[in-house]
Amino acid sequence: MIKKWDIILIVTLLLLSFLPEGIFLATGSGTEKNTTYAVVQVDGKEYKTIPLTGHHGTDTFTVQTPQGYNTIVVKDQEIGIVDADCPDQICVHEGFLSKPGQTSVCLPHKVMIEVRSDDADPDIIRAR
């Protein structure tokens, strides 16, 4: 038979089990969102930074160097080189990048795209 004090004890324990969630909500620790962005570098110098987190739609731009051109597309939360006039086309075949740590490089044109994150733990090496 369940008694009055049993119900009070069960309700108290249930309320205490939600205490950590309340602390996270009150301090804002659970609401941090890592922003992901892509850095385009030409000849080792930063050319452009594109935010990927929250990006919707398709944006296209061309990087022109003395060696040739690379057409870069930002599609939703991904970025990639879709056209280049380099002979090997390795950068085009890399596909779209979206995860921090991924890179695409066009060696003949000295163009590099690197996806980065504002993650608080920089010691983690992310794999594909």
- Reported as a pLDDT band with limits 50, 70 and 90, residue 118 is confident
Say yes or no: 1 and 51 in one domain: no
State how far the Cα of 81 lies from the Cα of 109, in Å rounded to an integer: 12
Say yes or no: 60 and 28 in one domain: no
Say yes or no: 55 and 94 in one domain: yes
Say yes or no: 26 and 75 in one domain: no
| Residue 125 forms part of a structural domain | no
- pTM recorded for the entire structure: 0.68
State how far the Cα of 113 lies from the Cα of 100, in Å rounded to an integer: 11
The total number of structural domains in the chain stands at 2
Say yes or no: 84 and 41 in one domain: yes
Say yes or no: 52 and 80 in one domain: yes
Are residues 52 and 79 in contact, defined by beta-carbon separation less than 8 angstroms? Answer: yes
Indicate if the alpha-carbon torsion angle 51, 49, 127, 108 is positive or negative. Answer: positive
Say yes or no: 55 and 93 in one domain: yes
CATH number of the domain at 101, please: 2.60.320.10
| Residue 10 forms part of a structural domain | yes
Torsion of CA 102, 110, 41, 86, to 10 degrees: -70
Helix (H) or strand (E) holding 6: helix 4-17
The CA R_g of the chain, rounded to the nearest whole Å, is 24
Q: Which domain holds residue 4?
A: 1-32
Are residues 117 and 38 in contact, defined by beta-carbon separation less than 8 angstroms? Answer: no
State how far the Cα of 67 lies from the Cα of 61, in Å rounded to an integer: 17
Are residues 106 and 91 in contact, defined by beta-carbon separation less than 8 angstroms? Answer: yes
- Reported as a pLDDT band with limits 50, 70 and 90, residue 29 is low
Query: In this model, does residue 32 exceed pLDDT 60?
Result: no
Q: Tell me: the pLDDT tens digits for 81-111?
A: 999 999 999 999 999 999 988 999 999 999 9
| Residue 128 forms part of a structural domain | no
| Residue 72 forms part of a structural domain | yes
Helix (H) or strand (E) holding 106: strand 103-106
| Residue 101 forms part of a structural domain | yes
Say yes or no: 41 and 58 in one domain: yes
